């Protein structure tokens, strides 16, 4: 029987990520459509794997625990019925061949042993290949972040009848859903020029395409980003999505 892709995709956790991963690789993973979070506590990480079966976790074994403790921790995850469906990978600057053999051949971690000494570009390529092989993106094309409660996620647009202000409710790399009490009566697929988005500390101006209203609420509008949006604007959006995702996982009770 052909395996069905997960509609929502898999959650990807980076446990004790090195600074190069946290500061640079994480942006690349988010922009590639992978729902990625960073974690700084191995006990909480194991509980999250229990809560989200089938998740993927890359573990930095250079920090947190001693090597033997990491081995026991990883064995426990792979043998525990509540977490055995998790897919683990190792990230390290350690180039010891015996250590690599242990994780790859003895423990058989499915997402490999990534040597950061290879450099950011090569390490990123290996991780992206592992995520692709494990169908981590699922059938979802874009990561959508909920920002209902963020008072600093807003938009404004100067239309024919004045300037309109809206609250952004959710956002993806494709577009936004925003609540506006008043708006120009425009046909679907109208191109709206120079919409200003405020995404917490990020500010950008972009053209957007009006896709219409939500059926369940006539005050919520769906707008898509112009495909020709500059890369700098895309980075502002993805970094905001990253902030929303991390806030969600940090406040989640496990």
Residue 56 burial (CB count, 10 A): 25
pLDDT tens for residues 123-149? Answer: 999 999 999 998 898 887 888 899 999
Can you give the three-state secondary structure of 15-40, one letter per residue? ECCCHHHHHHHHHHHHHCCCEEEEEC
Q: What's the sign of the alpha-carbon dihedral 188, 189, 191, 194?
A: positive
CATH of 11-133, one of 3.40.1110.10, 3.40.50.920, 3.40.50.2300, 3.40.50.720: 3.40.50.2300
**Residue 4 pLDDT > 80, yes or no?**
no
Average pLDDT over the chain, rounded to an integer? 91
- The domains of the chain are located at 11-133, 145-250
If pLDDT is split at 50, 70 and 90, which confidence band does 7 have? low
Tell me which fold the domain 145-250 belongs to. Answer: Thrombin, subunit H (2.40.10)
pLDDT tens for residues 178-229? Answer: 999 888 888 899 999 999 999 988 899 999 999 999 888 889 999 999 988 9
Candidates 232, 195, 230, 228; CA nearest to 210 is: 195
Alpha carbons 16 and 41: distance in angstroms, whole number: 7
Cβ contacts of 119-127, under 8 Å, gap ≥ 24: 120/20, 120/24, 120/25, 123/21, 123/25, 123/91, 124/25, 124/28, 124/29, 127/25, 127/29, 127/58, 127/89
**Residue 5 pLDDT > 60, yes or no?**
no
Do residues 240 and 200 lie in contact, with contact meaning Cβ atoms separated by under 8 Å?
Answer: yes
How do beta strands 87-92 and 56-60 pair? parallel
Candidates 66, 65, 47, 67; CA nearest to 57 is: 47
**Residue 152 pLDDT > 70, yes or no?**
yes
Do residues 211 and 227 lie in contact, with contact meaning Cβ atoms separated by under 8 Å?
Answer: no
pLDDT tens for residues 168-180? Answer: 999 999 999 999 9
């Amino acid at each position: 029987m052909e395996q069905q892709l997960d509609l929502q995709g898999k959650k990807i956790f980076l446990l004790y990520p090195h600074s190069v991963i946290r500061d640079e690789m994480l942006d690349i993973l988010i922009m590639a459509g992978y729902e990625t979070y960073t974690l700084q506590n191995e006990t909480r990480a194991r509980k999250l794997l229990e809560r989200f079966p089938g998740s993927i976790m890359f573990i930095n074994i250079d920090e947190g625990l001693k090597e033997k403790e990491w081995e026991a921790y990883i064995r426990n995850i792979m043998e525990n019925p509540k977490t055995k469906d998790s897919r683990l990978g190792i990230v390290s600057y350690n180039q010891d061949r015996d250590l690599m053999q242990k994780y790859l051949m003895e423990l058989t971690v499915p997402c490999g042993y990534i040597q950061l000494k290879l450099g950011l570009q090569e390490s990123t390529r290996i991780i992206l290949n592992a995520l692709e092989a494990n169908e981590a993106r699922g059938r979802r094309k874009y990561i959508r972040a909920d920002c209902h409660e963020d008072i600093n996620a807003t938009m404004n647009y100067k239309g024919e009848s004045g300037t309109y202000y809206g609250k952004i409710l959710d956002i993806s790399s494709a577009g936004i859903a925003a609540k506006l009490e008043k708006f120009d009566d425009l046909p679907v697929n109208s191109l709206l020029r120079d919409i200003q988005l405020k995404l917490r500390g990020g500010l950008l101006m972009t053209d957007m395409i009006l896709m219409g209203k939500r059926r369940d609420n006539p005050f919520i509008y769906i707008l898509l980003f112009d495909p020709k949006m500059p890369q700098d604007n895309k980075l502002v959006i993805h970094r905001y999505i990253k902030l929303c995702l991390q806030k969600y996982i940090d406040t989640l009770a496990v």
